[in-house]
Structure 1
Amino acid sequence: MKRVFLILIFFTLSLWAQSYDAYLNSFTYEERKDMKIRSVELSVMLERGTAQLIDIRFKEEYEAWHMPYAINIPINELPKRLAELDKSKLIVTACPHKDRAIMARTYLKLKGYNTRYLVDGLIGLAEFLRGDNAKEFIEEYKLINMKSN
Protein backbone atom coordinates (compact mmCIF):
# COMPACT_ATOMS: atom_id res chain seq x y z
CA MET A 1 0.00 0.00 0.00
CA LYS A 2 2.83 2.38 0.90
CA ARG A 3 4.49 1.63 -2.42
CA VAL A 4 1.29 2.47 -4.37
CA PHE A 5 1.01 5.72 -2.44
CA LEU A 6 4.60 6.66 -3.29
CA ILE A 7 4.02 5.87 -6.96
CA LEU A 8 0.92 8.11 -6.96
CA ILE A 9 2.87 10.96 -5.39
CA PHE A 10 5.67 10.59 -7.93
CA PHE A 11 3.15 10.51 -10.81
CA THR A 12 1.37 13.64 -9.52
CA LEU A 13 4.63 15.55 -9.09
CA SER A 14 5.73 14.52 -12.54
CA LEU A 15 2.45 15.81 -14.07
CA TRP A 16 2.82 19.08 -12.16
CA ALA A 17 6.38 19.49 -13.44
CA GLN A 18 5.26 18.76 -17.00
CA SER A 19 2.46 21.33 -16.83
CA TYR A 20 4.80 23.94 -15.31
CA ASP A 21 7.35 23.15 -18.01
CA ALA A 22 4.66 23.62 -20.67
CA TYR A 23 3.57 26.90 -19.08
CA LEU A 24 7.13 28.23 -19.06
CA ASN A 25 7.79 27.05 -22.61
CA SER A 26 4.73 28.95 -23.85
CA PHE A 27 5.38 32.10 -21.78
CA THR A 28 5.17 35.27 -23.89
CA TYR A 29 5.18 39.04 -23.44
CA GLU A 30 1.38 38.89 -23.63
CA GLU A 31 1.22 36.39 -20.75
CA ARG A 32 3.61 38.59 -18.76
CA LYS A 33 1.24 41.53 -19.25
CA ASP A 34 -1.89 39.46 -18.57
CA MET A 35 -0.64 38.10 -15.25
CA LYS A 36 -0.70 41.53 -13.59
CA ILE A 37 -3.38 43.93 -12.41
CA ARG A 38 -3.08 47.30 -10.69
CA SER A 39 -5.20 48.64 -7.84
CA VAL A 40 -7.08 51.11 -10.05
CA GLU A 41 -8.24 48.38 -12.46
CA LEU A 42 -8.96 45.94 -9.63
CA SER A 43 -11.13 48.45 -7.79
CA VAL A 44 -13.30 48.92 -10.89
CA MET A 45 -13.68 45.15 -11.34
CA LEU A 46 -14.54 44.66 -7.66
CA GLU A 47 -17.13 47.43 -7.93
CA ARG A 48 -18.65 45.68 -10.95
CA GLY A 49 -18.54 42.28 -9.28
CA THR A 50 -16.31 40.75 -11.97
CA ALA A 51 -13.28 40.01 -9.78
CA GLN A 52 -12.61 38.18 -6.53
CA LEU A 53 -9.74 39.37 -4.34
CA ILE A 54 -7.90 36.59 -2.52
CA ASP A 55 -5.63 37.70 0.32
CA ILE A 56 -3.15 34.84 0.54
CA ARG A 57 -1.39 35.98 3.71
CA PHE A 58 -1.33 33.85 6.84
CA LYS A 59 -4.33 34.06 9.16
CA GLU A 60 -2.47 36.15 11.77
CA GLU A 61 -1.40 38.71 9.17
CA TYR A 62 -4.98 38.97 7.91
CA GLU A 63 -6.33 39.39 11.44
CA ALA A 64 -3.88 42.23 12.12
CA TRP A 65 -5.27 44.23 9.15
CA HIS A 66 -7.22 43.40 6.01
CA MET A 67 -9.49 44.64 3.28
CA PRO A 68 -13.09 43.74 4.23
CA TYR A 69 -13.96 42.70 0.67
CA ALA A 70 -11.05 40.24 0.38
CA ILE A 71 -11.30 36.53 1.09
CA ASN A 72 -8.45 35.21 3.21
CA ILE A 73 -7.10 31.94 1.89
CA PRO A 74 -3.53 31.53 3.15
CA ILE A 75 -1.19 30.29 0.44
CA ASN A 76 -0.53 27.06 2.35
CA GLU A 77 -4.30 26.33 2.41
CA LEU A 78 -4.99 27.23 -1.23
CA PRO A 79 -4.92 23.68 -2.68
CA LYS A 80 -7.62 22.44 -0.31
CA ARG A 81 -9.80 25.58 -0.54
CA LEU A 82 -10.23 25.94 -4.31
CA ALA A 83 -13.99 25.45 -3.97
CA GLU A 84 -14.21 28.93 -2.41
CA LEU A 85 -13.08 30.55 -5.66
CA ASP A 86 -15.63 31.79 -8.17
CA LYS A 87 -14.52 30.51 -11.59
CA SER A 88 -16.86 32.99 -13.31
CA LYS A 89 -14.74 35.89 -12.02
CA LEU A 90 -11.16 37.02 -12.40
CA ILE A 91 -9.28 35.72 -9.36
CA VAL A 92 -6.78 38.29 -8.08
CA THR A 93 -4.18 37.12 -5.59
CA ALA A 94 -2.63 39.63 -3.22
CA CYS A 95 -0.22 40.01 -0.34
CA PRO A 96 1.51 43.15 0.99
CA HIS A 97 4.15 43.20 -1.71
CA LYS A 98 3.72 40.50 -4.37
CA ASP A 99 6.02 37.53 -3.76
CA ARG A 100 3.40 35.09 -2.43
CA ALA A 101 0.74 36.52 -4.74
CA ILE A 102 2.84 35.56 -7.77
CA MET A 103 3.26 32.01 -6.46
CA ALA A 104 -0.48 31.67 -5.78
CA ARG A 105 -1.38 33.14 -9.16
CA THR A 106 0.89 30.69 -10.99
CA TYR A 107 -0.60 27.77 -9.07
CA LEU A 108 -4.15 28.89 -9.91
CA LYS A 109 -3.23 29.49 -13.56
CA LEU A 110 -1.98 25.91 -13.84
CA LYS A 111 -5.27 24.78 -12.25
CA GLY A 112 -7.22 26.50 -15.04
CA TYR A 113 -8.33 29.69 -13.30
CA ASN A 114 -8.45 33.11 -14.93
CA THR A 115 -6.11 34.85 -12.53
CA ARG A 116 -3.80 37.78 -12.00
CA TYR A 117 -1.76 39.08 -9.12
CA LEU A 118 -2.02 42.56 -7.63
CA VAL A 119 1.20 44.15 -8.85
CA ASP A 120 1.17 47.02 -6.34
CA GLY A 121 0.22 44.66 -3.51
CA LEU A 122 -2.15 45.20 -0.62
CA ILE A 123 -0.04 48.13 0.55
CA GLY A 124 -0.51 49.82 -2.82
CA LEU A 125 -4.24 49.06 -2.73
CA ALA A 126 -4.51 50.58 0.77
CA GLU A 127 -2.64 53.65 -0.46
CA PHE A 128 -4.97 53.96 -3.48
CA LEU A 129 -8.14 53.55 -1.40
CA ARG A 130 -7.78 56.62 0.79
CA GLY A 131 -10.06 59.61 1.20
CA ASP A 132 -12.46 60.16 -1.69
CA ASN A 133 -11.31 57.01 -3.48
CA ALA A 134 -12.24 54.91 -0.43
CA LYS A 135 -15.66 56.53 -0.09
CA GLU A 136 -16.53 56.13 -3.78
CA PHE A 137 -15.24 52.56 -3.92
CA ILE A 138 -17.15 51.37 -0.83
CA GLU A 139 -20.39 53.02 -2.00
CA GLU A 140 -20.14 51.33 -5.42
CA TYR A 141 -19.03 48.01 -3.97
CA LYS A 142 -21.93 47.90 -1.51
CA LEU A 143 -24.41 48.87 -4.23
CA ILE A 144 -23.23 46.09 -6.55
CA ASN A 145 -23.26 43.49 -3.78
CA MET A 146 -26.78 44.47 -2.68
CA LYS A 147 -28.00 44.00 -6.27
CA SER A 148 -26.35 40.58 -6.61
CA ASN A 149 -27.77 39.23 -3.31
Structure 2
Amino acid sequence: MSEMESVSVDTIGEGARILDVREDYEWEAGHIPNAVHIPLDQLPDRLDDLDPDQDLAVICRTGGRSARATQWLESHGYSAVNVNGGMGAWLEAGKEMVSDNGQEPTVV
Protein backbone atom coordinates (compact mmCIF):
# COMPACT_ATOMS: atom_id res chain seq x y z
CA MET A 1 0.00 0.00 0.00
CA SER A 2 1.41 3.38 -0.93
CA GLU A 3 1.92 6.15 1.59
CA MET A 4 -1.25 8.19 1.86
CA GLU A 5 -0.85 11.89 1.19
CA SER A 6 -1.94 14.25 3.95
CA VAL A 7 -2.35 17.99 3.58
CA SER A 8 -2.88 20.84 6.02
CA VAL A 9 -6.06 22.90 5.94
CA ASP A 10 -3.97 25.88 4.80
CA THR A 11 -3.13 24.19 1.50
CA ILE A 12 -6.77 23.64 0.49
CA GLY A 13 -7.66 26.28 -2.04
CA GLU A 14 -10.92 27.87 -3.07
CA GLY A 15 -12.93 25.47 -5.19
CA ALA A 16 -11.23 22.32 -3.90
CA ARG A 17 -13.48 19.25 -3.94
CA ILE A 18 -13.95 18.35 -0.27
CA LEU A 19 -15.48 15.09 0.93
CA ASP A 20 -16.76 15.15 4.51
CA VAL A 21 -17.10 11.63 5.94
CA ARG A 22 -18.53 12.58 9.35
CA GLU A 23 -21.93 11.53 10.67
CA ASP A 24 -25.12 13.51 9.93
CA TYR A 25 -25.26 15.20 13.35
CA GLU A 26 -21.65 16.39 12.96
CA TRP A 27 -22.36 17.74 9.46
CA GLU A 28 -25.48 19.61 10.64
CA ALA A 29 -23.54 21.34 13.45
CA GLY A 30 -20.96 22.74 11.05
CA HIS A 31 -19.40 21.96 7.69
CA ILE A 32 -17.48 23.47 4.80
CA PRO A 33 -19.66 25.23 2.19
CA ASN A 34 -19.98 23.14 -1.00
CA ALA A 35 -18.40 20.06 0.57
CA VAL A 36 -19.84 16.67 -0.38
CA HIS A 37 -21.23 14.79 2.62
CA ILE A 38 -21.01 11.00 2.61
CA PRO A 39 -20.69 9.39 6.06
CA LEU A 40 -17.81 6.88 6.15
CA ASP A 41 -20.09 3.83 6.51
CA GLN A 42 -22.07 4.89 3.40
CA LEU A 43 -19.02 5.42 1.18
CA PRO A 44 -19.03 1.97 -0.50
CA ASP A 45 -22.71 2.33 -1.47
CA ARG A 46 -22.36 5.93 -2.64
CA LEU A 47 -19.08 5.75 -4.53
CA ASP A 48 -20.92 6.67 -7.75
CA ASP A 49 -21.71 10.09 -6.17
CA LEU A 50 -18.03 10.96 -6.62
CA ASP A 51 -16.18 11.81 -9.83
CA PRO A 52 -13.09 9.59 -10.19
CA ASP A 53 -11.44 12.32 -12.27
CA GLN A 54 -11.64 14.90 -9.46
CA ASP A 55 -9.02 15.25 -6.75
CA LEU A 56 -10.69 14.89 -3.35
CA ALA A 57 -9.64 16.38 -0.02
CA VAL A 58 -11.18 14.07 2.60
CA ILE A 59 -12.06 15.46 6.02
CA CYS A 60 -13.61 14.25 9.30
CA ARG A 61 -13.46 15.59 12.86
CA THR A 62 -9.79 14.93 13.66
CA GLY A 63 -8.38 12.88 10.77
CA GLY A 64 -8.92 9.21 11.66
CA ARG A 65 -12.00 8.42 9.59
CA SER A 66 -10.80 10.54 6.71
CA ALA A 67 -7.49 8.63 6.68
CA ARG A 68 -9.40 5.35 6.32
CA ALA A 69 -11.66 6.86 3.64
CA THR A 70 -8.65 8.25 1.74
CA GLN A 71 -6.91 4.86 1.70
CA TRP A 72 -10.12 3.12 0.62
CA LEU A 73 -10.77 5.64 -2.17
CA GLU A 74 -7.19 5.36 -3.45
CA SER A 75 -7.50 1.57 -3.51
CA HIS A 76 -10.53 2.07 -5.80
CA GLY A 77 -8.68 4.33 -8.23
CA TYR A 78 -9.68 7.73 -6.84
CA SER A 79 -7.28 10.59 -6.23
CA ALA A 80 -7.67 11.58 -2.58
CA VAL A 81 -5.69 13.31 0.16
CA ASN A 82 -6.35 13.29 3.89
CA VAL A 83 -6.86 16.65 5.61
CA ASN A 84 -4.62 16.75 8.71
CA GLY A 85 -6.41 17.72 11.90
CA GLY A 86 -9.83 17.54 10.25
CA MET A 87 -12.61 20.00 11.00
CA GLY A 88 -10.96 20.94 14.30
CA ALA A 89 -7.98 22.33 12.38
CA TRP A 90 -10.36 23.91 9.83
CA LEU A 91 -12.19 25.75 12.62
CA GLU A 92 -8.94 26.84 14.32
CA ALA A 93 -7.67 28.21 11.00
CA GLY A 94 -10.75 30.44 10.84
CA LYS A 95 -11.86 29.01 7.51
CA GLU A 96 -15.47 29.38 6.37
CA MET A 97 -18.12 27.07 7.81
CA VAL A 98 -21.91 26.86 7.69
CA SER A 99 -24.45 24.92 9.77
CA ASP A 100 -27.78 23.28 8.96
CA ASN A 101 -29.30 23.82 12.40
CA GLY A 102 -29.66 27.62 12.45
CA GLN A 103 -26.89 27.98 15.03
CA GLU A 104 -23.31 29.21 14.88
CA PRO A 105 -21.29 26.56 12.97
CA THR A 106 -19.16 24.43 15.26
CA VAL A 107 -17.35 21.10 15.34
CA VAL A 108 -18.91 18.39 17.55
TM bin, normalised by shorter chain, reads 0.7 to 0.9
Q: Cα distance, 1:102 vs. partner?
A: 0.5
- Equivalent pairs: percent with the same residue? 29
Q: Which runs of 5+ in 1 are unaligned?
A: 1-22, 135-149
Higher share in helix: 1
More contact order relative to length (CA 8 Å, sep ≥ 6): 2
When the two structures are superposed, what TM-score results if normalisation uses the length of structure 2?
Answer: 0.79
Match of 2:49 in 1: 84
Equivalent pairs, count: 96
Please, which of 20, 27, 38 is the counterpart of residue 73 of structure 1? 38
Q: Does 1:122 align with 2:87?
A: yes
User: How far apart, in 1, do the equivalents of 2:8 and 2:51 lie?
Assistant: 20
- Structure with the greater alpha carbon radius of gyration: 1
Give the C-alpha shift of residue 96 in structure 1: 1.2
1:39 maps onto 2:9 in alignment: yes
Distance 2:73 2:21 in 1: 12
User: Structure 2 CA distance, aligned partners of 1:65 and 1:101?
Assistant: 16
Could you list the runs of 4 or more consecutive aligned residues of structure 1 that deviate by over 3 angstroms after TM superposition?
A: none
Structure 2 CA distance, aligned partners of 1:56 and 1:124? Answer: 15
Q: What's the TM-score once normalised by structure 1's chain length? A: 0.59
RMSD between superposed Cα atoms in Å: 1.5
Structure 2 stretches lacking a partner, 5+ long:
97-108
- Could you say which structure has the higher strand fraction? 2
Aligned match of 1:62? 27
Amino acid paired to 2:6 = K
